[in-house]
Each structure stands twice: as C-alpha cells, then as structure tokens.
Amino acid sequence: MLKKIPNYIKYIFCNFALLILFNIIFRILFYYLFAELETATSSERQTAFWLGLRFDIKLASIAIFPLALLILIVNRRFFAYKFYRKLSYFYLIITYIVLTLFYITDFGYYDYLSLRLDAASLRFLEDLKISTQVLFESYPVFKGIFGLLILGYFIYKLSKFLYNQFSNQETHFSIKLKTGYFVATILILSFSIYNSFTHYPLRWSEAFFSKNNKVNQFALNPVLYFFDSFKFRSESVDMEEFKKYYPVIAEELNLPKDTISFERKVVFPDSLKTKPNVVIVMLESVGVKPLSYYGNPINSSPVIDSLIPLSTSFSNFYVHKSGTAASVFASVTGLPDIDDINTASRNPMIINQRILFDQFEGYEKLYFLGGSANWANIRGVFQANINGLKIFEEGSYENENRADVWGIDDYELFKESDKVLKKLHEKEEPFVAYIQTATNHIPFTVPDQKESFAPLSEDAISNDLLKKSGFKSVAQLNALRYLDFNIGKFLERAKESGYYDNTIFVFFGDHNTMMNRNHQYTTEHDLNINLQHALFFIHGPKYVKPKVVQKNAKLIDLFPTIMHLIKEDYTNYTLGSNILDTLDNKLTSSFVYLNMKGEPTVGLLQDSMYYSRTNISKTKGLYNLKDNNLVDIKEKYPNKAAAMDSLLNAYYHSTKYLYFNNKKLEE
C-alpha cells in the first residue's frame, strides 16, 4: 500500500508527524516543569491533554503547510534539484528554531507570571536595555544559543536523512493520481488546522474550559496563543486618564474616593425561604421598535405584549454594542464591550473576570444555545469564569434537527431546555439558566407550520403597512412572530413542568433588529443608537410586581438586579448596578458604544438627553431625544454637556481598567 504513495507525499507527512512530536515533547516538558496540576481532577487533566494535542497538531500543520504546498506543486522535481533540497533544509531548520524560541520564552514567561506567552509580553521590549539585562542575569543565554546551534545541526542532519530516504523513487504516477494525492494532502492538512467536526474551528477559547486557570493555561499552545492575542496588543488602559476620571465613576457607583476599588459587598438581612430559580432568556434581535406593545402598527408580538403588563419592564434599556457576542459578553461579565477590532469575547487577554454569575451559591448553573459555544469564542467567557457551569450546545440534546447556521431553532431549544429544567425541579435543585435564542436572525429560518404558528405569506401584509412598520421584509416579521410564539410555548411548558411559579424569568434583547426609518424613535435612528434600544422585562408573578421602570438602564445592570430580586448576597466587582434601587430620584445613565460616520463612538443617555463623542476626531454632540429634529444643543447647555462628557469618560476608562484588573482569583 505504501509503495503506491509517492515519496514526496511520504516526505510531507513524515515531517508533519515529526513536528507534532516536537510540539508534544515541549508540552510534556511544560507539564512536568511548570503546570502544577495537582489540584486538577483527572477529567480536567485528560481534557487539557486532548485539547493541547489538538492545538499542537494545528500548529504543526500550519508550520509544514508552506513547504508542503511547494512540494505538491513541483512533486517529483522536488527530489531532482539541489535548490529544493537546500530550501527544505533551510525552511525546516528555521521552523524548528523559531518554535523552540517560542517555547523557551514561554517557559520563562510562565515561570514569571503564571501565564502562557501572549502579545502582552511585547511590553518588555519597551525598555530593551533593562529587559536584556534581566534576561542575561536570570537565564543561561549563551548556553541557550549553543543549544540552538546544536538543535539546528541536528535538524539539518535529520532533514538530510529524510530527504535521502525518499529521493530514490523512480515510479511515475498519472496526472489523475497526482491530482488525487494533491487534493487529499491539502484536505488533511487543512482539516488539521480547522481541527473540529463542528461548524466552528478549534479556537483558543476551548482551552478555557475549567475554573482552574492552571488547567486552562496548560491546554493552550503558546505559539498559537501569542498570535491569537497579537491583534489585541494595543488594547490597554490609559492609567492617567483612568485616574483622572475615577472620582467621577466613584461618585456614580458609590465607591471609595481615597483608593481605587470597585468592590461592593451586598448583604441582605433577610433571605428568601425558598431559593427561586432564575431563567435568563437572551432574545435575538429584539428591540423596542418592532414590538406592537411599543407602538409598531403591525401586531408583531402578542405574547410579549401580554407579558409586559404582568412584569417589571424597562422602557429605556440600552445594550452597549449592537452585536450578539458583545451583548453576551457584557451581560455575563458586567463590563461593556468597547473593543474596536472585533468583540471583547474574542480577546483572550480580557475574558478572565470576576463575575456575578459565578456567585449563585447552591444553584445549578446552565447555558443553553442552539449552535456551538465556540461561536465568537464565547465558551471562554462562560466556562472559564463560572464554576460548575454546564453548557448545552449542538450535540448535547436528545433531539436535534439543525435549522440553519445557528443550529437548532428556538422551538427545539426551548423544548430541550425545558427537559433539563424539569429534571432539576423534580430533584428540588434550584437553577440559574442562560438561554440564548437565534432564530430571529438572518437567514430568518422559520417552519411552514409549528403547532398553532404559521408564517405570514408575502401578500398578507400590504407594502404600505410594511413600510409604516419599519420592517424590511415579511421574513423579518415572521422571525419575530416565531420567537414571540416560542416564548409563549416555553412558559406553557414551564407551568406544565412545575417550575414556573418558583422561577424569575428575565427577558432581554441583545440588540434591536435592523429596521427602516419610520415614525418611531426617529431621533434614535438618525443618531444610530436605535440598535442599542432593546427590550428588557422581568417576569415572575410570585416575586415581581407589574411595574414600568422609566429610569435609564443598561445591560451590565442585569445580574446585580437579579441578585437583588432573589436576595442572594454577592460582591460586585463590575460597573453594573441594581436598577431597582430604592433611590428613585437618582439620575441613571446608559452607556453605549457604536459607530458614527465610520468612527468608533461612545455615548451616554440620561433621561431624554444623549451625549456622544467620536474616538478619533473627538467630535461631540448633545441631543434631546424627544425632539424630532436632530439639533446639537451642547452650546446651549454647556454644563450638562461637560457633566455627561465626564461621566462618559469615566465609564470608558473604567471599563478598560477592569478588563485587565478584574481578574478572578486563582483557586
């Protein structure tokens, strides 16, 4: 069988296997010299080893890919010309030396900071003289250089040996067979890089599966992790600006003025006799504008319309950034997503946070979504920070019929979630569950019929009514109607399963859906903050009284408000606050981060006032949202503009500070 394979293909995979072995050797060295996994469970160690092996295979495939591609193109000629032989020697020697330098640097970096090598390590180059002196005084640099020379010589000899072993094949292969081997090799190496059977490739966030950070650190590959974090290298806090505005945020959040601390302990003198369950439902793309309850002319949301009057609702609730990953990050960590490049969830340098979700004592903690938790690296945000969290994703459910790119649809997601919650209720185990819906998202996949739900036909809504509503299509409307229907079915199942009465249901939209300009919220539309104005209401007749809260609320307030309702003692390290605070006369704010005319922009809402400032050109504006005409009034109200600018800066720089200074404690 092996004789039928061209020698140049064997040469590629032999080098591929050696690179994998090389990476594994350094992983084993790290395990015995630095990992300190004595407190980890055997299951955690096994998972970390398996993930680490996958990362090592991925790196080996990336390393060999350029050489493999060249060999596949020239095929038999690779062994016929000295140029290719010398090029392969040079490439392999450089590859092994570069990898070795990364691994050795990683060892020293971890020994110093208990962190794998990341882009933040580049800060040591800012003062090269001191860093070089420390390097020479702390490590055997000259012995290391000598060792690298020996390694280079060994790789040269090994490469020469392998080249000679495979250079003697005289068999000729047909074009068809060569093409087959070309495609097969590319596919194998490509899959080794993708390294996953799911819809998402292997990502660094999968390494953050444990509450024990040492386990997570061991699972990482430092070379891949360095480049994953490289694009975030400039994302740091400006300490001068932060200290300048800290007194402002301290006043806003009632923090100590004489020292920098965001820690606020909240202790309830009286606790509830029975722990209520908490179910948080993230409603994909649900803002206030498309809902008939808030004045949309189409009867788009009859179930939500019926629930809001029975719940505590928030008419001025804003998410920080108009993206699902951004809102998931903010809701879980209690910090706004103000990342310019992608989303904060994708930044490996800031996902390690002290969060309130982890402080539900005696609760089963659950996260449900229809697709994969690898999406947007969200697994790292959840699993690395929440002790004992159980993630239910594609592959976890009893019945799975994938609807579209986002996995199973909301009907199936709610149904499968209910099965798990029912079992916990029957065992009298309280739970806090986060359910992330997705069907109300492009491509708007809804079934032709699901129980009493049927989508509207294209001609069921007149063009005039569709235009008046702001919906861009009937498909967009049907997706919202289907989500609305599924909310009703979920609550029906909760009642049948028995946990409805003892559960607080928290519903929030991750952002508004993209809509056309109509008569609703016109100033918000023109200011581009209509996507941030989302739905938020809390439903639980036993615990929550019907009430409309008109104070400005923001997504990071989610968990402090929930903890207040269930009277669970907690320590808040975040920027979020309890919206239901009894200080009704206190002026509250909503902090948003968006794009305005191509520029990253920060904004602050207080009552009907909106203040914004672009990050690059520093263009500022103050607007009254009740005024249908978009008029900048900052010159008319300079004191108000200055106060809002100050608080806006305080939120922005405090967020940056906490990204890097709110790390959860090692256990």
Residues marked as catalytic: 324
How many angstroms separate the CA atoms of 40 and 45, rounded? Answer: 7
Any residues with CB less than 8 A from the CB of 333 and at least 6 apart, and which? Answer: 344, 351, 353, 355, 381, 385, 574
324 is known to lie in a ligand binding site: yes
Helix %, strand %, coil % of the chain (to 5): 50, 15, 40
524 is known to lie in a ligand binding site: no
Phi, psi of 264, rounded to the nearest 5 degrees: -130, 115
For 563, half-sphere exposure in the C-beta direction (CA atoms, 13 angstrom radius) is: 25
Q: What is the DSSP string of 362-375?
A: T-EEEEEESS-TTG
Listed residue (335, 252, 176) closest to 664, CA to CA? 335
Tokens at residue 60, please?
């080996």
By the 8 A CB rule, do 490 and 307 touch?
Answer: no
User: 């020698």: which residue's tokens?
Assistant: 7
Listed residue (334, 413, 327, 319) closest to 366, CA to CA? 413
Any residues with CB less than 8 A from the CB of 147 and at least 6 apart, and which? Answer: none
511 is known to lie in a ligand binding site: yes
Cβ-based neighbour number of residue 443 at 10 Å: 12
Which burial class, exposed, middle or buried, applies to 407 when counting CB atoms under 10 A from its CB (0-12, 13-18, 19+)?
A: buried
Listed residue (589, 555, 559, 554) closest to 572, CA to CA? 559
Tokens at residue 425, please?
């209720």
Cβ-based neighbour number of residue 413 at 10 Å: 26
Any residues with CB less than 8 A from the CB of 556 and at least 6 apart, and which? Answer: 320, 330, 331, 334, 335, 336, 574, 575, 576
Which burial class, exposed, middle or buried, applies to 275 when counting CB atoms under 10 A from its CB (0-12, 13-18, 19+)?
A: buried
Amino acid at 232: F
Phi, psi of 318, rounded to the nearest 5 degrees: -130, 135
Q: Extract the annotated binding site.
A: 284, 324, 441, 510-511
Q: Extract the annotated binding site for Mn(2+).
A: 284, 324, 510-511
